[in-house]
Structures are given as C-alpha cells and as structure tokens.
Amino acid sequence: EAGVVQSPRYKIIEKKQPVAFWCNPISGHNTLYWYRQNLGQGPELLIRYENEEAVDDSQLPKDRFSAERLKGVDSTLKIQPAELGDSAVYLCASSLDPPDTQYFGPGTRLTVL
Amino acid sequence: GDSVTQMEGPVTLSEEAFLTINCTYTATGYPSLFWYVQYPGEGLQLLLKATKADDKGSNKGFEATYRKETTSFHLEKGSVQVSDSAVYFCALMKGKLIFGQGTELSVKP
C-alpha cells in the first residue's frame, strides 16, 4: 500500500514569491494534517481536515497561508507571499479517524532566500 | 497547555550500549502517547505507542511504558545498532499530535 505522497521534496524560492505544496494521503484516510517543522524542533500542526472540512486551523497564519482539500482526498498548502521565516519542512500526515495513528509523508523542505 | 519535554541531545552511544531517552508530558486527562523516529532525509515513522496507563509499547527492540504517576514515557532499548541513528520524537495526542523537540541519537561502531 502506498504511503503519504508529497511533492515537491525540495523548493527554493525568493522571499515574497508564492509557493504551493501538494499532498496525497493514504487511500481511505479521511483525516489529513499539515505540520510545519522548524530546524531542530518537533512538528507543529498548521491545519487538520476531516474529509473536506478544516476542523482545526487555529495555528494557520491566515494572512499568508491557505489550504484546501477538494473532494476530501488530496490537499494543497499555499504560502503567498513567502517570508524568510517560512523556511522549514512542511509535513503532511493522514489517519483513518482521529485519534488514530497518523502516518507521515517525507515532507517538503522549503528554503526562502 | 499540553506539552512534551524530551531530554536534550545529541546522545552518542557505542554499538550494543543501552539506550534511554527521557520523555515527560503535561496534559489533562490521559492522552495516547507515541514515539516517532526520523531517519536522515526521511519522514516521521511511528515507532511505538501506548493508549492508557501502564501500557507498554514495543517495536524493533524499543520499549516505552506509559507511567501516569510520573507522567513519563521513556524510550529504552537494550542494545543499540548503528542503524538506530536518527532523531526520536515523543508526542501526545489531544485531538492533534503535540511533539517534543526531538532527541538526536548517534550510534558509533
């Protein structure tokens, strides 16, 4: 069974540019999570979806970050415009139902210059 | 608020040494507890979990016991290998995973 798929794996952009990350969860997993992991830190939740609905986006900086999960399957996380402090690894995870075990993708490492 | 505290790394051990990585948590109620491992260049992988007090999670020679009285979930392994070199994250589940800062383990041959 395929795991959580993310793309791209790496992205380097100039500040003020937009960037988007894509995630395809494990088939049948209705809950999807986006986390941000700063260097030397543990991941922190940005947003959680149950099917198409964002049920926890309290930690998402809504002035520049947006996310969508159309049709309740794959998801896109966007930053516009990016800032230097957004440099981090963005992780996607999925689970069958909270609080079931979450399975993580390999992440997208974003570098903002 | 809810939080997880891990011992600071890096931890450097010789092959076949005994490993302990300390983890304590602060949370209301009795959350599920997890250890995740992150190998270089890879994503987080679930190592083991425990869902209630006194439960012992185990996998690949690693063990951790959910201690309610000390609010701890220390990770142990009797004999580490070079291939265990990675970053280990302790986490609790309260609607979302709350992670510790991670502990880097380096095992030398």
Whether residue B88 lies within 8 A of chain A, CB to CB, comes out as no
> What is the predicted pLDDT for the residue at B42?
84
> What is the predicted pLDDT for the residue at B40?
86
Q: How many CA atoms lie within 13 A of A53 on its CB side?
A: 2
Identify the segments of chain B with pLDDT beneath 70. Answer: none
Spatial neighbors of B93 by CB under 8 A, at least 6 apart, are A98, A99, B31, B32, B33, B34
Tokens of B64: 């951790």
| Residue B48 β-bridge partners | B35
Calculate Rg over the CA atoms of chain B. Answer: 13
Nearest to A105 among B43, B46, B49 (CB): B43
A33 vs B99: CB contact, 8 Å cut-off?
A: no
Whether residue A103 lies within 8 A of chain B, CB to CB, comes out as yes
Question: Could you read off the pLDDT tens digit of each residue along chain A, which spans 113 residues?
Answer: 689 999 999 999 999 999 999 999 999 999 999 999 999 899 999 999 999 999 999 999 999 999 999 888 999 999 999 999 999 999 999 998 766 789 999 999 999 99
Residue of A nearest to B40 (CA): A106
End-to-end CA distance of chain B, in Å?
A: 41
Segment (H or E) for A91: strand A88-95
